[in-house]
Amino acid sequence: MQPLSAGSGLEAGVCKSKEAEIKRINKELANIRSKFKGDKALDGYSKKKYVCKLLFIFLLGHDIDFGHMEAVNLLSSNRYTEKQIGYLFISVLVNSNSELIRLINNAIKNDLASRNPTFMGLALHCIASVGSREMAEAFAGEIPKVLVAGDTMDSVKQSAALCLLRLYRTSPDLVPMGDWTSRVVHLLNDQHLGVVTAATSLITTLAQKNPEEFKTSVSLAVSRLSRIVTSASTDLQDYTYYFVPAPWLSVKLLRLLQCYPPPDPAVRGRLTECLETILNKAQEPPKSKKVQHSNAKNAVLFEAISLIIHHDSEPNLLVRACNQLGQFLQHRETNLRYLALESMCTLASSEFSHEAVKTHIETVINALKTERDVSVRQRAVDLLYAMCDRSNAPQIVAEMLSYLETADYSIREEIVLKVAILAEKYAVDYTWYVDTILNLIRIAGDYVSEEVWYRVIQIVINRDDVQGYAAKTVFEALQAPACHENLVKVGGYILGEFGNLIAGDPRSSPLIQFNLLHSKFHLCSVPTRALLLSTYIKFVNLFPEVKPTIQDVLRSDSQLRNADVELQQRAVEYLRLSTVASTDILATVLEEMPPFPERESSILAKLKKKKGPSTVTDLEDTKRERSVDVNGGPEPAPASTSAMSTPSPSADLLGLGAAPPAPAGPPPSSGGGGLLVDVFSDSASVVAPLAPGSEDNFARFVCKNNGVLFENQLLQIGLKSEFRQNLGRMFIFYGNKTSTQFLNFTPTLICSDELQPNILGFITKPVDPTVEGGAQVQQVVNIECVSDFTEAPVLNIQFRYGGTFQNVSVQLPITLNKFFQPTEMASQDFFQRWKQLSNPQQEVQNIFKAKHPMDTEVTKAKIIGFGSALLEEVDPNPANFVGAGIIHTKTTQIGCLLRLEPNLQAQMYRLTLRTSKEAVSQRLCELLSAQF
**In terms of CB distance, is 299 or 581 closer to another protein?**
299
- On whether the CB atoms of residues 783 and 770 are closer than 8 A, the answer is no
51 assigned ligand-binding residue: yes
Distance CA 443, CA 415 (A): 12
Helix H segments across 662-710?
674-679, 694-700
Torsion of CA 614, 615, 619, 624, to 10 degrees: -60
Distance CA 386, CA 286 (A): 32
- On whether the CB atoms of residues 403 and 369 are closer than 8 A, the answer is yes
Distance CA 130, CA 224 (A): 32
Q: In what order do the strands lie in the sheet with 804-811?
A: 742-750, 794-801, 804-811
**In terms of CB distance, is 175 or 874 closer to another protein?**
175
- On whether the CB atoms of residues 241 and 230 are closer than 8 A, the answer is no
50 assigned ligand-binding residue: yes
The DSSP result for 269-330, as a single string, is HHHHHHHHHHHHHHHSPPS--SHHHHHHHHHHHHHHHHHHHHH---HHHHHHHHHHHHHHTT
Residue 117 Cβ, how far from another protein at the closest point, in Å? 10
Helix H segments across 93-239?
98-113, 117-130, 133-139, 142-148, 154-170, 180-185, 193-209, 217-229
What is the enclosing helix (H) or strand (E) of 472? helix 464-478
Residue 165 Cβ, how far from another protein at the closest point, in Å? 5
Residue 372 Cβ, how far from another protein at the closest point, in Å? 5
- On whether the CB atoms of residues 784 and 764 are closer than 8 A, the answer is no
Strand partners, 63: none
CA separation (Å) from 911 to 486, 880, 900?
A: 69, 10, 5
Residue 603 Cβ, how far from another protein at the closest point, in Å? 19
Strand partners, 551: none
Buried b (16+ CB within 10 A) or exposed e, 161-198: bbbbbbbbebbeebbeeeebbeebbebbebebbebbbb
**In terms of CB distance, is 64 or 361 closer to another protein?**
64
Sign of the torsion formed by the C-alpha atoms of 150, 155, 161 and 163: negative
**In terms of CB distance, is 346 or 726 closer to another protein?**
346
SS (H, E, C) 65-90: CCCHHHHHHHHCCCCHHHHHHHHHHH
**In terms of CB distance, is 224 or 520 closer to another protein?**
224
Residue 400 Cβ, how far from another protein at the closest point, in Å? 17
**In terms of CB distance, is 130 or 452 closer to another protein?**
130
- On whether the CB atoms of residues 498 and 463 are closer than 8 A, the answer is no
45 assigned ligand-binding residue: yes
What amino acid occupies position 22?
I
User: How many residues does the structure list for the chain?
Assistant: 932
What amino acid occupies position 681?
S
**In terms of CB distance, is 298 or 559 closer to another protein?**
298
**In terms of CB distance, is 348 or 703 closer to another protein?**
348
Residue 84 Cβ, how far from another protein at the closest point, in Å? 7
**In terms of CB distance, is 335 or 551 closer to another protein?**
335
Residue 329 Cβ, how far from another protein at the closest point, in Å? 14
Buried b (16+ CB within 10 A) or exposed e, 797-830: bbbbbbbebbbbbbbbbbbbbbbbbbbebeeeeb
**In terms of CB distance, is 1 or 904 closer to another protein?**
1
Distance CA 318, CA 306 (A): 10
Find all residues with CB under 8 Å of 850, minimum gap 6, and list them.
Answer: 902, 907, 908, 909, 932
**In terms of CB distance, is 334 or 525 closer to another protein?**
334
Residue 318 Cβ, how far from another protein at the closest point, in Å? 19
Residue 239 Cβ, how far from another protein at the closest point, in Å? 5
49 assigned ligand-binding residue: yes
Residue 629 Cβ, how far from another protein at the closest point, in Å? 30
Residue 63 Cβ, how far from another protein at the closest point, in Å? 9
Residue (of 923, 865, 863) closest to 889 by Cα position: 923
860 assigned ligand-binding residue: no
**In terms of CB distance, is 193 or 590 closer to another protein?**
193
Residue 179 Cβ, how far from another protein at the closest point, in Å? 23
Distance CA 88, CA 126 (A): 8
**In terms of CB distance, is 340 or 870 closer to another protein?**
340
Could you give the angle at which helices 247-257 and 193-209 cross, rounded to 10 degrees? 20
- On whether the CB atoms of residues 400 and 419 are closer than 8 A, the answer is yes
Residue 159 Cβ, how far from another protein at the closest point, in Å? 6
Distance CA 483, CA 783 (A): 52
- On whether the CB atoms of residues 540 and 550 are closer than 8 A, the answer is yes
**In terms of CB distance, is 207 or 457 closer to another protein?**
207
168 assigned ligand-binding residue: no
Residue 194 Cβ, how far from another protein at the closest point, in Å? 5
CA separation (Å) from 611 to 25, 78, 413, 417, 617?
A: 47, 54, 12, 11, 9
Residue 21 Cβ, how far from another protein at the closest point, in Å? 12
**In terms of CB distance, is 463 or 611 closer to another protein?**
611
Can you say which residues are annotated as belonging to the binding site? 35, 45, 49-53
